[in-house]
Amino acid sequence: MADRGFVAQSKISRITLATLPTPLESGGKLQSGANLWVKRDDLTGLGVGGNKARKLEFLCGEALDNNATCLVTVGAAQSNHCRMTAAAGARLNLPTHLVLSGVKPKQLEGNQMLSAMFGATLHHTGLDANDWANLESERAKLTEELVCSGHRPHSIPIGGSTAVGAIGYAVAFDEIIAQCNLENFVADAIVFTTSSGGTHAGLIAGLVRARANNPQKQLPKIIGIGVAKGVALSASRVAELANQTLALLKESARTSQQDIIIDANYMGSDYAVPTKAASDAAIWAAHRGAWVLDPVYSAKGFSGLLGLDANAEFGENSNIVFIHTGGLPSLFVAH
């Protein structure tokens, strides 16, 4: 059901799960006169799409290398990562277990409905969505139970944010730069939503690798807009994960915390708590390019881009790439 391959120069297995490259669309001018570009990672294809497909290509490569007999992962009740892991499990014929925050709803909606359609088993823990430590303990407990009953689970941490998963975004960095070249512009900044940090770490690994290969080349600033109080607020954790990713890719260059920009000014009071700036940003994006942003992740990330632009962070005629990381299904959940 899926092709297998390797990343050049490393022994990292990759399974084809995403439809790549995703489009890079022109978004016209921002208020400052900067040019907006939208990288459509909401269109990665796997189980309604989103950023996690890129990580899962490597995480599932690792699972098959380990002869896993099932997948386990964990997330918030409306986790996109869990839904896409369930989709990967369906594609690879691997039973998939999802450890979720919250209690079982009367009717499954959004990402949970899709996860169930993909055949995953949902384990509701009753925990809060931002109680990452206890959600991870529940994943460890379930993984152990599956081992004890004779299974070989491949157990994936929150957001798929391991060094192996982050390789997906090191590769995406190269894809973005190649598309900018084709469009005849140099990107000044890449802006995206960050939560568990794997997307960010992968992009940083891609940046550091490109810088090492060509120190003269102008490369974009990588700006993560934080939407959760976990890894996203720890530049040192993202740097550490980026360096582990570089090591896996057999690169000798390393990042330092100076590369890591996490802007937490657009999170609002907490993860998944709506902000007016995010709902305004979602309307702006829908009117400008029919881009559909979700309130938990991509709209908050885009509100950060618009906020930075309003604060004159981007020069006139500079080129700003927003990675649309997906999140569509949670739009259809009643709150």
Catalytic residue set: 79
Q: How far is the CB of 188 from ligand PLP (least distance, A)?
A: 21
Buried b (16+ CB within 10 A) or exposed e, 97-116: bbbbbeeeeeeebbbbebbe
**Rounded to the nearest 10 degrees, how much is the dihedral formed by the CA atoms of 158, 160, 164, 166?**
-110
**107 three-class SS:** coil
Distance, CA of 119 to CA of 85 (rounded, Å): 11
Q: How far is the CB of 325 from ligand PLP (least distance, A)?
A: 3
Note whether 166 and 157 are within 8 A (CB).
Answer: no
Question: 25 burial class (0-12, 13-18, 19+ CB within 10 angstroms)?
Answer: middle
Q: Which residue, 202 or 318, has its beta carbon nearer to ligand PLP?
A: 202
Q: How far is the CB of 156 from ligand PLP (least distance, A)?
A: 12
35: β partners? 29, 319
Q: Which residue, 69 or 275, has its beta carbon nearer to ligand PLP?
A: 275
Name which of 195, 174, 167 is nearest 57 in CA terms.
167
Q: Which residue, 196 or 243, has its beta carbon nearer to ligand PLP?
A: 196
Note whether 125 and 138 are within 8 A (CB).
Answer: yes
Q: How far is the CB of 298 from ligand PLP (least distance, A)?
A: 5
Q: Which residue, 12 or 146, has its beta carbon nearer to ligand PLP?
A: 12
Q: How far is the CB of 10 from ligand PLP (least distance, A)?
A: 21
Distance, CA of 219 to CA of 319 (rounded, Å): 11
Name which of 234, 226, 217, 215 is nearest 191 in CA terms.
226
Concatenating the DSSP letter of every residue in 146-191 gives: HHHTT--EEE--GGG-SHHHHHHHHHHHHHHHHHHHHTT---SEEE
Q: Which residue, 153 or 198, has its beta carbon nearer to ligand PLP?
A: 198
Half-sphere exposure of 84 (CA within 13 A, CB side): 31
Q: How far is the CB of 255 from ligand PLP (least distance, A)?
A: 16
Name which of 66, 47, 240 is nearest 161 in CA terms.
240
Q: Which residue, 50 or 153, has its beta carbon nearer to ligand PLP?
A: 50
Q: How far is the CB of 182 from ligand PLP (least distance, A)?
A: 25
Binding site for ligand PLP (CB under 6 A): 50-51, 80-81, 159, 161, 193-200, 297-298, 325-327
Q: Which residue, 146 or 262, has its beta carbon nearer to ligand PLP?
A: 262
Maximum separation of any 2 CA atoms in the chain, in Å = 61
Distance, CA of 208 to CA of 140 (rounded, Å): 33
